[in-house]
Structure 1
Amino acid sequence: MPIARFSPFELVLLQSHSQVDTATLLLQAWLLTHRDNVSESQRYRRLAQEAASFGHGHDLGPLMRIAGQRDMQAIQLAAEVLRRECTAGQGLAVMHKAIAVATDDGSLSLANHYILRFLADLLGIAPATLDTLFQELAGTPLAPPQDLSRDAYWREHNPAHYRRQAEQEAEQARARAEAQQAEARRAAEQQRRQQEHEREQARAHRERQQREREHRQQQQERQRQHHRHRPQASTPPPDRTLRALAVLGLSRGASRSDIRLAYRRMAQLHHPDRVFSQSERQVALASQRFQRIKKAYDYLMQRH
């Protein structure tokens, strides 16, 4: 009979003196990982302050690692523990601590905005109650979340992405210009060689006129041998190469630089972290899409 394997968080729960406290601490660690401009050591110290009044009886290191890895199965299990075990009063206390952890520096990240609303819904706390509690603790109203689908939002909150995009476009333009220059040099070299070849042919023709009859038969034999041993035309790339190029939005003949640039662009657009706050199915689909992009990139880089 196979031995049951427990996840890291399940092992922590099994060792805990209070599963509710352990689940609460994991969700607080999850909030801390989404705090802006907070170091790892600061997160750990802040969590330790919260844990001082808890009866969990285990080290906080595993919880910080699980939260840092964004283990959504562990988060879901912690949420299930709170939903099942917390009373209404305990739920308000958990919400109070969550708001405090998320707003220590007076600001609230967009990710934590959604996490707080998720916790309130999980614990059965009405939106109006959440707004009142947030106003009392943070001193500012809990504004509606911004629309992430608007380009203006991302230009304000993630300007680095647009700078990188402009740099990538400039790099692509430079690569195209360099490719055009290289093609022009190749064409000029090919023309020079063609002219030299034609001059050589003219000299050889004058010499061949004297030996033509003598060597005609031998020349015909060489031509027959040449046709028999001429290399076959190269086969088109296998279907897997074409599929990998299609995944990255490229066509046949793409260079290593094209492949690398396409991968960076696709990875930034489809990385699972960009949809972490959405449903599990959307996160899973994003992960599968990112894996296809990574596999296509690895295969093409090995082929070039």
Structure 2
Amino acid sequence: MSIARFSPFELLLLKSRSQVDTAKLLVLAWVLAHRQHVSEGQRRRRLAQISAQFRHGHELGPVMHIAQQQDLLAIQLAAEVIRKECSQEHSVSVMHQAITLATDSGELSLANHYILRFLADLLNVAPTTLSTLFQELTGQPLARPEDPSRDAYWRVHDAEYYAQQAREAEAHAAQQEKEKKRQQEEAQRAHAQAQEKAEREKARQHQESAQRQRQYERARQQRSSQYGQQRTAPPPDRTTRALAVLGLTPGVSQTEIRRAYRRMAQLNHPDRFYTGSEQQIALASARFQRIKSAYDYLMQNYL
């Protein structure tokens, strides 16, 4: 099998003089990696102290690096090695060392609250055994860890975070109020514009109505004037009407009458409209008859 298929921790196990000690080393390094207010050098020195009797035979750096990466598959594999190769008493001993590393500074970090419980579960150490062991080593009960998802946790542990949350909430409320005010102003402007537009439309309609009324009055006056003129003006006599049919005015000679008749007869003779509709032919016949009647009348009565 190619060596590239193994994970970094599996390679450490393959090269280790004692796989159990290497597994214990990783578990304890994982606890140390979550100690608060501890430098990297202090973590390595503390790990070297507690593992002085281990027979793993390799450097601590690679193990510490895997622990800091929080490789849970490696942690589970280490717990499986310990559980498989060691007795229950040995597993309890590993939990004893883990509790010591997690609390020897007097403060148990939130992460190690969960890590101790997780390790106890992986090593088949009962919760009651874990609580008893913690009480014996620290003199205090193993309380339930605080929930960082609750707002009360951040009020106590990170006042700045809580203050920042409050500032953000206040800024968000101010932004919402500003947006609400802007929307109200826009609604007021839109309402004012709509009213102004309605007033302009009303004025335009009034102006158009007044203009139509004036046009109607002028047309009525013109009709009244024309009607009065038509009633007062004498009707044209037959001679004048006959001359108008031929396009002539009073005072023309009979020669001009004949010439006008021939011209009008040629233009309006029904035979010229034989290709048209019956209505066109009928209209042409009526025009020609008026022209013929006007000519006959003038030739007989016009001197």
Q: TM-score, normalised by structure 1?
A: 0.53
Query: Would the alpha carbon gap of residues 62 and 175 (structure 1) be closer, same or farther in structure 2, given more than 3 Å must change?
Result: farther
Match of 2:41 in 1: 41
Q: 1:24 to 1:153 in 2, by over 3 A?
A: farther
User: How far has the Cα of 1:37 moved from its partner?
Assistant: 1.6
- Note the C-alpha offset of 1:59: 0.6
Within 5 Å, which residues of 2 pair with 1:82-121? 82-121=82-121
Which secondary structure does the structure 2 equivalent of 1:17 belong to? coil
The answer (yes or no) to whether the contact 1:23–1:78 under 8 Å persists in 2 is yes
CA distance in 1, matches of 2:136, 2:54: 24
8 Å Cα contact 1:28-1:101 kept in structure 2: yes
Q: Distance in 1 between matches of 2:27 and 2:92?
A: 14
Query: Structure 1: any 5+ residue segments left out of the alignment?
Result: 184-304
Shift in Å at residue 3 of structure 1? Answer: 6.7
Whether the aligned pair in 2 keeps the contact of 1:26 and 1:64 (CA below 8 Å) is yes
Kindly report the root-mean-square deviation, in angstroms, between the aligned alpha carbons of the 2 structures: 4.3
Greater Rg over alpha carbons, structure: 2
Structure 1 segments of 4 or more deviating over 6 A? 173-180
Distance in structure 2 (CA, Å) of the matches to 1:153 and 1:83: 38
State the alpha-carbon separation in 1 of the partners of residues 155 and 31 from structure 2.
22
Take 1:33 and 1:76, find their aligned partners in 2: how far apart are those partners?
A: 16
Deviations 1:245-269 (A, max 9, x none): xxxxxxxxxxxxxxxxxxxxxxxxx
Map 1:1-304 onto structure 2 (within 5 A).
Answer: 4-138=4-138, 140-146=139-145, 148=147, 151-160=150-159, 161-169=161-169
Could you tell me which amino acid in structure 2 is paired with residue 64 of structure 1? M
Distance, in Å, in 2 between the alignment partners of 1:107 and 1:96 is 16
| Inter-CA distance 13–178: structure 2 relative to 1 (3 Å threshold) | farther
Letter in 2 for 1:155: W
CA contact (8 A) 1:114 1:145 kept: no
DSSP-derived class of the 1:35 partner: coil
Aligned 8 A contact 1:110 1:145 in 2: no
Secondary structure of the equivalent of 2:111? helix
Structure 1 residue 72 displacement after superposition: 1.4
Per-residue CA deviations over 1:170-227 (Å, capped at 9, x if unaligned) read: 56578789999x99xxxxxxxxxxxxxxxxxxxxxxxxxxxxxxxxxxxxxxxxxxxx
Quick one: structure 1 residues 58 and 69, their matched pair in 2 at CA, closer, same or farther if it must change by over 3 Å?
Answer: same
| CA deviations over 1:104-149 (Å, ceiling 9, x no partner) | 11221222122222222332333332222222221x2333313527
Structure 2 CA distance for partners of 1:62 and 1:148, relative to 1, 3 Å: same
For the residues of structure 2 that align with 1:157 and 1:34, how far apart are their CA atoms? 20
Percent identity for Structure 1 against Structure 2 = 55
Does the C-alpha gap of structure 1 residues 12 and 93 become closer, same or farther in structure 2, counting only changes over 3 Å? same
Q: How many aligned positions are there? A: 211
Residues 37 and 78 from structure 1, CA distance in 2 versus in 1: closer, same or farther, beyond 3 angstroms? Answer: same
Distance 1:35 1:173, change over 3 A: same
